[in-house]
């Protein structure tokens, strides 16, 4: 350090003065190169399409991300509501289908009962000498069958 001060004060020999000058030039070149590298690095932090720095881009992107997250949450909530509505409709449909199948089975039982009644009426041999007696006999048989 004292040699550098002696060189700067002009008291050193020409050989040391030339070395110091060379050292100053090397340091100046190094500082210049570093400045260029720093400027170049800063230029890479700017979006060429928008000419905005990365900080501005990051803030804009963060706001867009926040909006997207809110929209996603809303979308997920709506989908859950739709899924619940679909499940409720399916349960209602299953209940109605079960009721319809039960009603169909009951209707088939009643229809079979009526078929048996019709078959009984067709196979019945009415008793009586006159048509009125035979009709009365058939009517009595039908009433008796329906009462069961």
The values of phi and psi at residue 50, to 5°, are: -110, -10
Domain ranges of the chain: 1-44, 45-147
Selection from 26, 9, 28 nearest residue 17 by Cα: 9
Selection from 133, 24, 108, 56 nearest residue 16 by Cα: 24
| The model's pTM | 0.44
pLDDT value of position 67: 93
Pairwise CA distance, residues 70 & 73, whole Å: 5
pLDDT value of position 138: 81
pLDDT value of position 56: 78
pLDDT value of position 80: 96
pLDDT value of position 131: 84
Q: Cα 59–62–66 angle (5° rounding)?
A: 140
pLDDT value of position 22: 76
Series of mean pLDDT values for 10-residue runs along the chain (148 residues): 54 56 78 76 68 77 92 96 97 97 96 88 81 85 77
pLDDT value of position 144: 80
């Amino acid at each position: 350090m004292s040699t550098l001060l002696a060189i700067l004060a002009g008291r050193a020999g020409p050989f040391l003065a030339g070395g110091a000058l060379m050292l100053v030039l090397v340091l100046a070149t190094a500082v210049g190169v570093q400045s260029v590298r720093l400027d170049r690095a800063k230029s890479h932090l700017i979006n060429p399409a928008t000419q905005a720095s990365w900080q501005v881009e990051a803030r804009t992107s963060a706001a867009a991300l926040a909006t997207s997250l809110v929209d996603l949450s809303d979308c997920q909530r709506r989908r859950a509501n739709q899924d619940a509505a679909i499940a409720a409709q399916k349960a209602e449909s299953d209940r109605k289908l079960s009721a319809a199948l039960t009603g169909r089975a009951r209707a088939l039982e009643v229809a079979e009962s009526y078929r048996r009644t019709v078959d009984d009426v067709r196979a019945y041999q009415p008793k009586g000498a006159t048509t009125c007696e035979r009709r009365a006999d058939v009517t009595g048989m039908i009433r008796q069958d329906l009462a069961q």
